[in-house]
Amino acid sequence: MNNLRFHPIEPLRFPLINRLYKTYYPAGKAKKDETIWVGEDTNGLICCVRFKQFEHEQLLTGMLVHPAHRGQGLGLALLAAARKQLHHLPCYCFAFRYLEGLYSDAGFRLIADHDLPEALSSRIRRYRQSGKDLIAMQFDPHYINSMPHDASLERHG
């Protein structure tokens, strides 16, 4: 990876995100009402995460790291770079149970379903009914974690 940069992506480039999703996460799709952060280098997109906006909260969704780059800490680095977005509105995520550690390291804490806003509570129930093993988490800027606080992270490979 050369000069990996993390930044929000402009809607004009959403087709690139959708191509990445189509290849590695077919259920994902960039939508114009979302804020999307990416990690890219000179060869293209490496990772992305979407923030779906609601009236009083946001939902982190569609986190994807290209399979060839997994296990290198890029998901955590992307969330560190998007830290300002995480503070924008209360931020929730529905994590696959096996990813609890990643999101915990990024400052999310496990919460009970009844602590979710109603719009999100009904959504997680629907997802679980379709067979997904998801846990509810909320970003907590005071949560003790190992996430770097430098949002200007750049990696050079």
Residue pLDDT tens, the chain, 157 long: 568 999 999 999 999 999 999 999 999 999 999 999 999 999 999 999 999 999 999 999 999 999 999 999 999 999 999 999 999 999 999 999 999 999 999 999 999 999 999 999 999 999 999 999 999 999 998 875 544 544 333 333 3
What per-residue confidence (pLDDT) applies to 143? 74
Please, how many CA atoms are within 13 Å of residue 107, restricted to the half-sphere of its CB? 23
What per-residue confidence (pLDDT) applies to 39? 98
Core vs surface per residue 114-130: b (16+ CB within 10 A) or e:
eebeeebeebbeeeeee
- Which residue pairs, CB below 8 angstroms and at least 24 apart, start in 66-73? 66/20, 66/24, 67/24, 69/1
Residue 57 to residue 27: CA distance in whole angstroms: 22
